Amino acid sequence: MTHQASRAATETETIVYVCPMHPEVRQNGPGNCPKCGMHLVPEADAAAHAAHDHHAHDHHAGVAPMDGR
Ligand SMILES: [Zn+2]
């Protein structure tokens, strides 16, 4: 009995990318967050990160000083 199931379905599976800082930002493919410009990560990867009960430190990357006086 030759049961050759085509397992190529996973090849075309769409990976949803999300922003680690903005879970509402999601798109079908890699890119950057329109809100903070961070690199989007695969949703599965983001979920794995969220699983860790680790306090996210606020990085000051790309933050312009708002001391305009
Ligand atoms: Zn973001």
Residue pLDDT, tens place only, 31-63: 999 999 999 999 988 777 666 555 555 666 666
Is it the case that residue 26 has pLDDT exceeding 90?
yes
Q: Is residue 33 a part of any domain in this protein?
A: yes
**Quick one: CA torsion of 5, 29, 19, 39, rounded to 10 degrees?**
120
Residue 1 lies in a domain: no
49 CA from centroid of ligand 1 (Å): 15
- Give the pLDDT score at 3: 67
14 against 51, higher pLDDT: 14
62 domain-assigned: no
Q: For the chain, what is the domain count?
A: 1
The boundaries of the domain holding residue 25 are 11-51
Q: Give the whole-angstrom CA distance, residue 22 versus residue 5.
A: 39
Is the residue at 56 inside a domain?
no
Give domain status of residue 6, yes or no: no
CA distances from 10 to 5, 30, 38, 64, 68 (A): 13, 18, 27, 42, 52
pLDDT at residue 2 is higher than 60: yes
CA–centroid distance, 20 to ligand 1, in Å, is 7
